[in-house]
Structure 1
């Protein structure tokens, strides 16, 4: 089922969203001081291409630099990328088949706003980590 959803996602919106993140990464790499944002944007672009079967988790440990970086990211690119996800989610939710795709768009909004200090992992790895913590 993940494969089918990922292919539908790629055709009906994932490619355009990933291109938006790639454009943000390119701009960040050109401006040299924002290279960490560029790497974060590349990670999200790969996630935006194939989101089903992967999830977002917080990286372990305190990261005060990530907080400052996320505030800058929200101002520079995060708001626009989040709006792109919101518009895409509304457009995809029009059909019944598009509802899971709309939910995936909504799942991408928090990481589009605050990408630093986050990690994208397979769903199975995230579940095994949560079970380990609960024990």
Structure 2
């Protein structure tokens, strides 16, 4: 997991005041593919406000101001399982079904688009496309 170093990132908040091209620099610390020496790092320039979506990452970095020491992420996170995204996945599909005519109201989304079912179906399709013998597809 990349470590965002807050103290160095906080020093770059001065660039948010620029009239032309307000931005900040996210300082990534630690070993990376290009920089294998521990303690080294690099900076990623980020704009204060994104284009069309108008997200304001600069504002969120400023809110981290009081936390100027340490790393942004303090714990080792486990790789999430696919099932952890199930609710979010269905929430989007249900919204599409309710607000558009792209998905018929008669379609049972849990049955037709369940994450595990969709993966299984896609894997079967891929196996057929790759001409895997049917006996091996069932295993």
Alignment TM class, shorter chain as reference: under 0.3
- Larger strand share, 1 or 2: 2
Q: Which has the higher contact order (CA 8 A, sep 6+)?
A: 1
TM superposition score normalised by structure 1: 0.24
